[in-house]
Amino acid sequence: MRRLTKQQRSGEATPQPELLTNRTHHVGDVRGDKLARDSRTTRQFILTIDHQLERHYQFKNLKTQEIQEFSRFVAETVGKALTITQVDARFLRTKGPRGVGASETIDGARVTMVHYGRDRSPFRLFGYYDAAGYFVIHRLDPRHQYHRE
């Protein structure tokens, strides 16, 4: 049996603990800033396609094995109902000339592009977060060719 505190017995509001974030990141590391910036720690990761995918990086350009890689990514993220922070921790790519935080213009709007992929797998998924917090797919890069161009 759990004992009630004096505050709980009197009906007073119990002070809520302060939310802590991972602020032990290195200076310039974008991953830690995301935790403090918004509700990524609780918001579910959702994929969407809002516009035509970039030329040469579309579904029609994928081979069977590459479609399976995309399907595996969906199963490991959306299929497991991961949060944005969990997806970032497992799949966010930070290296490269156009790494995290690269800005691109898409349909006349300036967006911050991010890309996801496994360490050893060349498959990369490029996109950005819209105002609703959905990850908008912009480019499917199964052979990691985008940064080599």
Two structure tokens written together for 119? 């360490």
Separation CA 128–CA 135 (nearest Å): 6
Average pLDDT value for residue range 45-62: 88
Q: How would you classify the pairing of strands 102-106 and 47-48? A: unpaired
Q: What is the pTM of this model?
A: 0.67
Average pLDDT value for residue range 94-123: 79
Mean pLDDT of the chain: 76
112-133: pLDDT as tens digits = 888 898 877 788 898 999 988 9
24-52 exposure pattern, b = at least 16 Cβ within 10 A, e = fewer: eeeeeebebebbeeeebeeeebebeeeee
Kindly indicate the confidence band of residue 27, based on its pLDDT and cuts at 50, 70 and 90: very low
